[in-house]
């Protein structure tokens, strides 16, 4: 129904899947793209979910930031596309 270039969502949409692994909300963390060096909130990444798992791409250079695949009771997370994630830990009461 939509064209390929519009097949993505925002990083926000991965918050539920990522909450299975991380204690803090990754989508509000600042992350640096390992490819182009852009630093943005993870919520601003482009998220592709119509695949086996979740792929987040940099909103600027479109390179892969994160891949998360869950098969039965095993989750495989590839974060090699991000140089770092920076969290505000004052929200950690959740």
Partner 1 sequence: MWYVGEVIALHDETATARTISLEVAAWTAHVAGQHVDVRLTAPDGYSAVRSYSIASAPNSEGRVDLTVERLPNGEVSPYLSQELAVGDRLELRGPIGGWFVWRTHQTEPIQLVAGGSGIVPLMSMIRSRKAAGSAAPFRLLYSVRKPAAVFYSDELQALTENEGLSLTYAYTRDAPKDWPRPPGRIDTTLITNATWPSNLGPTCYVCGPTSFVEIAASLLIASGHRPERIRTERFGPTGDRK
Q: Smallest distance, Å, CB 27 to partner 1?
A: 5
User: According to the binding rule CB under 8 A, does residue 70 interact with partner 1?
Assistant: yes
Footprint of partner 1 on 3-42 (CB under 8 A): 3, 6-13, 15-17, 19, 25, 27-28, 41
Contact between residue 66 and residue 77 where contact means Cβ atoms under 8 Å apart:
yes
- Closest by CA position to 80, among listed 69, 91, 61, 64: 64
Give the alpha-carbon dihedral of 94, 17, 55, 9, to 10 degrees: -80
Q: In the complex, which residues of this chain contact partner 1 (CB under 8 A)?
A: 1-3, 6-13, 15-17, 19, 25, 27-28, 41, 43-44, 49-51, 70, 91, 94
């Amino acid at each position: 129904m939509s064209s390929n270039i519009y097949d993505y969502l925002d990083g926000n949409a991965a918050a539920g899947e990522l909450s299975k692994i991380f204690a803090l909300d990754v989508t509000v963390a600042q992350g640096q793209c390992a490819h182009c060096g852009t630093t943005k909130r993870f919520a601003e990444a482009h998220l592709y979910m119509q695949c086996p798992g979740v792929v987040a791409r940099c909103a600027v250079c479109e390179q892969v930031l994160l891949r998360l695949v869950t098969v039965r009771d095993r989750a495989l997370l590839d974060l090699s596309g991000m140089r770092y994630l920076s969290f505000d830990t004052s929200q950690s009461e959740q």
